[in-house]
Structures are given as structure tokens and as C-alpha cells.
Structure 1
Amino acid sequence: MRVTLLGTGDTTGTPTAGCDCATCREARERGVSRSRFSVHVANERTGESLLVDFSPDFRSQFLDNDVALPDAGIVTHIHFDHLDGLGNVYRLVDGLPVHAPSGTDPATDESVAETVRRKYDYLEDRIGVHSREPFDPFEACGLEVRFVPVDHPPLLCFGVVIEDPETGGKLSLTGDTSYDVPERSREALADADLLLADAIVPASLCDHHPIGGRHEGSDGVPRTFGTKHMTREGALALAEELNADRTRLVHLAHFYPPEEAFAEPLAVDGETYEL
């Protein structure tokens, strides 16, 4: 399978609109972008493609990258930067299956699948929303997919495991999460050929968060920024624990200092990987 990182940024992206910080200036000078999160997975055996999350930057991402429109989609959670691009499919695709997790979220009194179905009821003639139990594998575009619960309060959020049943290639995405990923989910995410890990800021910026950092390692460095996202150090610690063959850090904010913002293994839009 061929994995294309369509969007590697957080809710505002990098460069951020209206921002003249050193990191946004550096991104403009380099000609690189981190748009809102989305990943394109092409099954080259079947000629089909799967889209992980529907970024609000859907249109520009598909114009900027040489990838096919999706044959199916999955939604990890209901935050706008992962869902609101779904409205773009109205005149572009027909009969698109969209897979989303089941399980009622106490914060919304709905599952992710139910929220997607309700919010995009006007697309009922274009999409079919399929509710999927966490950890239960299902087929999409000839690939085996599983949702795995992670930790992104106050909403339920899920990571994703995508495997090619013929080649054995494995892609794991942590989803938006703190470092406090449940053990069963860690087991499912482990041993990936490519791990895409949420790493919104470096741990040094936890001092600027109203509640600081959490989940400190033995060195005292926070692995979670606030409550919702991993720090760079947390994501790298998780990647080591999961024995990932290769790791790219995603969902990155423009708050990284410019001298760190484009260093390995921080991803930028347009990267591609063959698994």
C-alpha cells in the first residue's frame, strides 16, 4: 500500500493564517505546508484508496497531491479538523462508504458514527455510514482496518490500524491522543512498518500550558501536553515502546521553534511511503 500524508498539521495548520511567527515564516520560505490532518492509503493491488479523516483542507490536499479520490473513508473522531471536509464529497463521489467507531460518547450521547450520520444527513444519497466496534477488524478497499481507543478528553477518539492481508504491510495511526494509550490499543498498534504519531509540540512548551504537562518519563520530561495530545518526546517514547519500524510525527502545531520545526522525524504534507 502507498501512504500519502495529505495533512500533517493541527487545527490551524502551518503556516497559520495571519501569523508572522518565525516558524510560519520559515515554512513559507521553505515552501512547505502542514494542513489539517488527513492520510490517503492506496491499495495498489485493487486500485482503490482509503481516506483517514476528512480534513477541512480536502480540496487543496487533493489538488496538491497526485492521489485518487477515495473509494472509502474512516473518521477517528468528531473534531472539525478531522471531519468537516466530508462535505466536499457531495459532487465528487457517489456511494462512498464511511466507517466510524461505535460506542456512545458520554460527552455527546452519540457514537462517532451517529454524529457523522446526523451531521451529514444531507449526504445520505452519497455516503453510507458504517458503525464499527473498536478492535473488530473490517474490510475497506481490500485492506483490514481496526479502530483502537486512545485518550483525547473530553471526547472519545480512536487510533487506526491498517494492514494489507496479502503483503503484511502495517500502518498504525495513534489518532489524537495523550500518552495514556490503553494497553490493549498499544498491542494493536505495535510492530508497524509505519507509525504516524500525534506530537503537537515539544515538551519544553508544557510550561506555557495552563495545566502544564502530564505523564512524565523517568527523566521528568512530560509526554503529554495538557490533557489531549502527546509531546514530541511522548510520541517518540511511545514509538519506541511500540517497536515501530519507522515513525513520522504529525498533528504538529506552529508553536515548534523554527530551529526544531522541520527536523526529523517531524512530517510535512506530501510525504509518501510504500508499505
Structure 2
Amino acid sequence: MQVTLLGTGDTTGTPTPDCDCDTCEEAREPGDATRRRLRERGIDASSGVERSRFSVHVRNECTGEALLIDLSPDFRHQFLTHDVGLPDEAIVTHIHFDHLDGLGNAYRLFDDLPVYAANEVDPVTDESVADTIRRKYDYLDRVTVRDRTPLEPFETCGFEVTLVPVEHPPMLCYGVVVEDPETGAKLALTGDTNYAVPDESRAVLADADLLLADAIVPAHLCEHHPMGGDHHGPDGVPRTFGTKHMTREGALALADELDAAETRLVHLAHYYPVEEAFEEPLAIDGEQYHL
């Protein structure tokens, strides 16, 4: 299983357009210290550092098929920038634009693109994620929406995949587990979520070779959120930023509980202070893993 992180940023990405904060400036023109740290991770930052909107490419190295998890609005840029092939099939975790609106790129690129999404009806929208995609992209006759029941494994691209309910109020959202039945490799994504991931979902996400965990900001920035932080740990540190996303500390606590072999933090905002923004285990676009 080859996992490529095509997009590791939040809804505005890093650098954010027309933003002159220290972190965005460092992303555009990394200093020597940042370049050295990234070079140690095998990343060439000479042309800048990017965290575009979230998307993950998973290639089955046995069959040659590729699965795309979430369709970023930066779809075209991501596939021009990174050396991976177009997906054979895709999954959408929830209907927020930064995870869905790249689907419009299917026009003229695919003969048929099966897109898997949850069939659970959201009381906020009165339709499921699958229904929303079907309605919003009804003009894309090359997209076939395939409804799937959360927590019930299904097969795609030679993988066994499970949609895992998480907490991203007010709308329904899902994490994803991808397992290779041939090799036993396991990838887990928390999806966009706060720290209150249900116990049943935690059990499915556990023991991954690689965990990609939502960690939008460090916990000390909760003081700037109108709702502060939530789900405080024993040390009093908030594990949720506001209501929708985990803090860095929350994501690392969850990773420890899930006993992940390796963890990368994703869905990162440019609000990370520059001295923290490019430190481990915060991911950047283009990282690639073989599980």
C-alpha cells in the first residue's frame, strides 16, 4: 500500500492567499532552519512548502489500482504536482467543500468514477452524504455514487474499506480505515473530528500502521476561539478546538490510545506559530509512505 498525502491543510490551506503571517511567509520562502528540518525528512523545500486542501491517494501496489480519499478543490494542482496516477475510485468523508468540491474535476478526466459515501441520513440536511453528492453533481454522468453503510466493510481497489462515524458538528462526518487483505497493512484516517470519537469507531481505527489525524491547531490557541476548547485531558489541556476539530495535543492523545505505529497530523491551519508549524509530526503535502 502506497499512501501519498496530496493535501494536508485546512479549508484555506498554507500559505493562505493574501496572508502575510509569519507561517505563510515561511511556507512561501522557507528559511535555512526549516529547509534543514524538512531535508532530514527527505523533503525538498527549496521551492516552498505547501499544505493544500485535504486529500489522500492510496495505491494498491499489488493490483495497480488507486483510491482517492476526499476530493480537494486543489485536485488539478495536486495531480500536476505529485507523481501519482488518477484514481480508479474515490471516497468522500463529508460534504464540506474542501473535501468534496474537487469532484467537479471528474469532467472529461474519467470514463467512470465510482464514488463511495455514507448512506446515513443527516438530520441537519435531511439527506446522506451519498445523496448530497448525487444531487450536487447530477450533471456529471461519469460519476457513479455508491451508498455504503457506516461500520460495514466493503471492497474497493483490492482493499477492505470501512467508513467510521466521528464527531464534526453539526454535520455527519466519517473517518476511513483502509486495509490490504494481502499484506495486512492498515491505514486509518480520523476524518474531520473533535476528540469525542465514539468507542465503536475507536475500535475500528485502532492498531493502524499509519494514522492520519485531524489536528487543526495547537491547544494553546483555544483561547482565541469564541467557544474556547473542550474535552480537556487530565492535565487540563483541551483536546478539541471549539467543537469541530482536534487540537494537536488531542490528536496525539488519540493516536496514543489507538496505538498507531506511526502518526501524521493533517488538516493543519496556518495559525500554527511559525516555530511550531513545520515540526514533527505535522505533515506537509507530498509525503509518501509504503505500508
With normalisation by structure 2, the TM-score equals 0.94
Matching residue within 202, 208, 231 for 1:215 = 231
1:2-52 deviation per Cα after TM superposition (whole angstroms, max 9, x unaligned): 000000000000000000000000111131100000000000111110000
CA positional deviation for 1:148: 0.5
- Partner SS state of residue 4, structure 2: strand
- Partner SS state of residue 277, structure 2: coil
What does residue 40 of structure 1 align with?
A: 57
1:120-168 deviation per Cα after TM superposition (whole angstroms, max 9, x unaligned): 0001x20110000001111110000000000000000000000000000
Matching residue within 62, 65, 73 for 2:79 = 62
Q: How far apart, CA to CA, are the structure 2 residues paired with 1:225 and 1:94?
A: 41
User: Counterpart amino acid of 2:204?
Assistant: A
- Partner SS state of residue 215, structure 1: strand
- Partner SS state of residue 29, structure 2: helix
CA positional deviation for 1:81: 0.0
Instruction: Give the 5 Å matches for 1:154-169.
Output: 154-169=170-185
Percent identity of paired positions between Structure 1 and Structure 2: 75
Matching residue within 73, 96, 116 for 1:99 = 116
Matched, 1:137 2:153: yes
Instruction: List runs of 5+ in structure 1 lacking aligned partners.
Output: none
With normalisation by structure 1, the TM-score equals 0.99
Matching residue within 174, 189, 209 for 2:190 = 174
CA positional deviation for 1:111: 0.3
Q: How far apart, CA to CA, are the structure 2 residues paired with 1:131 and 1:180?
A: 25
Instruction: List runs of 5+ in structure 2 lacking aligned partners.
Output: 31-47
Matched, 1:10 2:27: no
What does residue 28 of structure 1 align with?
A: 28
Q: How far apart, CA to CA, are the structure 2 residues paired with 1:120 and 1:72?
A: 16
Matched, 1:50 2:71: no
User: Counterpart amino acid of 1:157?
Assistant: C
User: Counterpart amino acid of 2:248?
Assistant: R
What does residue 89 of structure 1 align with?
A: 106
- Partner SS state of residue 121, structure 1: coil
CA positional deviation for 1:205: 0.3
Q: Which runs of 4+ in 1 moved over 3 A?
A: none
Q: How far apart, CA to CA, are the structure 2 residues paired with 1:96 and 1:136?
A: 22
Q: How far apart, CA to CA, are the structure 1 residues paired with 2:126 and 2:158?
A: 32
- Partner SS state of residue 232, structure 2: coil
CA RMSD in angstroms, aligned pairs only: 0.4
Matched, 1:71 2:81: no
Matching residue within 134, 145, 151 for 2:167 = 151
CA positional deviation for 1:69: 0.3
CA positional deviation for 1:225: 0.1
Matched, 1:205 2:205: no
Residues matched between the structures, number = 274
